[in-house]
A = this chain, B = another copy of it.
Amino acid sequence: MSEDAKTGRQDAVNDLRRQLILDAARRVFEAEGLEGAGMRAIAREAGYTAGAIYFHFENKEAIYAALLGQSLDRLTAAVEAAVAGAGADPAARLRAAAMAFFDFYAEAPGDLELGFYLFRGGLRPRGLAPDLDAALNARLAGALAPVGEAAAALGADDAAARAATADAFGHAVGLLMLHHTGRIRLYRADPRALMEGYLDRLPARWQPPSSQGSQGAG
C-alpha cells in the first residue's frame, strides 16, 4: 500500500472520529441545552474520556465552531437547492430562499440556538475568536444572499436589497423563536403560515425610496 493511501485512510478515520464527537455534541446539546453541554457530557456521549476530546479538538469553542460551521453548510445547501428549484422568476426565488431558510431552522431548533449562542459571545470570557466569528458570519450572510439577489432583480437598489434581506432574516428568526419557545401557542398561530403571509406582503417590485411607506396600516 502506498504512503498516500495510508495517509488518506488515516485522515478519513480521523474525520470520522471528529464527526463522531460532533454528532455526540449535537445530541447532548439538543437534549440538555447549551449550558449542559459540557466537555464531560460530550465525551461521555461520544464514548470517550474527557481528555481524549482534546486530541481531536483544541477547545470547547472549537467543537461549537465546527458544529456551527456544519450547520451553516447545511443551511446554505438547503437554500441553494430551493432557489435552484424555483426557476427564473425573481419573486419565486426570493420566496423559495426565505422559506428554505425558515424551514431549515424550523426543523433544527438546536442549530438556531447554537448560532445565536455562539454569535452572542456565549463562550465568554474567551468568546469566539474574532476571525472565526467573522468567517462564520460571512457564511451566514452568504446563505441568505439569494434573498438579496432576488430583491435586486426586482428593482431594489443595494441598500434596499440589504434591508430586504435583513428584514426577512429578522422575520424568520422572530417567528422561529416564538415557535421554538412555545410562545406562538399563545396565539394559536402557525409560524410557517405567518412567514408566508409576510412574504405575500412584500412589494411585487421595489420602487424608488420616496414612494415607499405610504400604503400601510400604521
* Complex alpha-carbon distance, A65 and B108, angstroms: 28
How many residues on chain A are close to B (CB under 8 Å)? Answer: 65
Q: Which of A7-15, A56-64, A73-81, A188-196 contacts B (4 or more CB under 8 A)?
A: A188-196
Other-chain residue from B94, B214, B218 in contact with A95 (beta carbon distance below 8 A):
B218
* Complex alpha-carbon distance, A120 and B122, angstroms: 15
**A33 touching B122, Cβ below 8 Å:** yes
Q: How far is the CB of A164 from chain B (nearest CB, A)?
A: 9
Chain A 112-129 interface 0/1 with B at a Cβ cutoff of 8 Å (1 = within)? 000010011110100000
Is A210's CB within 8 Å of the partner chain B? no
**B166 touching A189, Cβ below 8 Å:** yes
Instruction: Name 15 A/B residue pairs within 8 A (Cβ), A-sorted.
Output: A91-B217, A92-B218, A120-B181, A154-B217, A162-B187, A165-B187, A166-B175, A167-B194, A167-B198, A173-B178, A196-B218, A199-B217, A200-B213, A201-B216, A202-B216
Complex contacts, A189 vs chain B, CB 8 Å: 162-163, 166-167
Complex contacts, A95 vs chain B, CB 8 Å: 217-218
**A202 touching B217, Cβ below 8 Å:** yes
Apart from A166-B178, A204-B216, what 18 extra A-B contacts exist at CB < 8 Å? A33-B120, A95-B217, A120-B180, A140-B186, A166-B184, A166-B186, A167-B194, A169-B174, A169-B183, A170-B175, A172-B174, A173-B173, A173-B174, A200-B213, A200-B216, A201-B201, A201-B216, A205-B217
